[in-house]
């Protein structure tokens, strides 16, 4: 009887471990696919290609910008902000970018993408440089469209001229 209990326990533990590993592998593959979409999004933004940028966004996108009180903004609000940024700044680059898998509340890979880096750009009006440390979390739906962008950076650093 003890052997049956021991074998049953071992079998159940192995089954759970295999299921979790399969889910992790599936979400890691999803992350790899979504990473390509996120890189396209940042490439479109930094090259001022707002048309291509917008094609990567879901119609029901939620944008949580860095400023206080900017939660759950729409795709249209993000595009308005990005177009204004593109008019104000030139030579925008995301430098030293590191990309990592997104994590759920239990710290399991969920298919999303986290981005760390520094955004550098020049003011169109003065030619002076701006430099901002940047962090974002993005989620992508099964159709390959970005559904969530949560951005974190110090907005006052954006307006400092170096």
pLDDT by residue (tens digit) across 148-159? Answer: 999 999 988 877
What are the beta bridge partners of residue 113? Answer: 101, 138
Residue 46 has pLDDT above 90, yes or no: yes
Q: Which of 78, 48, 67, 70 is nearest to 145 (CA)?
A: 78
Q: Which of 57, 63, 27 is nearest to 40 (CA)?
A: 57
Which numeric CATH code is attached to 2-158?
3.10.450.50
pTM assigned to the model: 0.83
Structure tokens at 19: 């299921």
pLDDT by residue (tens digit) across 119-132? Answer: 999 999 999 999 99
Which residue pairs from 84-89 have beta carbons closer than 8 angstroms and sit at least 24 positions apart in sequence? 86/48, 86/50, 87/124, 88/123, 88/124, 88/125, 89/121, 89/122, 89/123, 89/124, 89/130
Rounded-to-integer distance, Cα 100 and Cα 117, Å = 12
Going by C-beta distance under 8 Å and a sequence separation of 6 or more, which residues neighbour residue 114?
99, 100, 101, 102, 103, 135, 136, 137, 138
Structural domain boundaries in the chain: 2-158
Q: How many residues does the chain have?
A: 162
Burial class (CB in 10 A: 0-12, 13-18, 19+), 146: buried
* pLDDT confidence of residue 32: 96
* pLDDT confidence of residue 8: 47
pLDDT by residue (tens digit) across 2-40? Answer: 555 544 454 444 444 444 555 567 899 999 999 999 999
């Amino acid at each position: 009887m003890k052997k049956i209990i021991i074998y049953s326990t071992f079998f159940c533990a192995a089954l759970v471990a295999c299921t979790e590993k399969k889910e992790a592998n599936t979400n890691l593959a999803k992350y790899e696919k979504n990473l390509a979409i996120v890189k396209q999004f940042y490439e479109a933004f930094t090259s001022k290609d707002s048309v291509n940028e917008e094609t990567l966004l879901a119609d029901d996108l939620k944008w949580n910008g860095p400023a206080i009180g900017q939660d759950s903004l729409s795709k249209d609000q993000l595009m308005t902000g990005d177009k204004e940024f593109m008019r104000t700044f030139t030579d925008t680059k995301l430098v030293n970018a590191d990309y990592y898998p997104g994590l759920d509340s239990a710290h399991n890979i969920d298919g999303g993408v986290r981005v760390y880096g520094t955004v550098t750009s020049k003011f169109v009006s003065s030619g002076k440089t701006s430099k901002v440390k940047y962090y974002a979390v993005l989620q992508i739906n099964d159709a390959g469209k970005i559904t969530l962008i949560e951005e974190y950076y110090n907005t006052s650093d954006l307006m400092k001229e170096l």
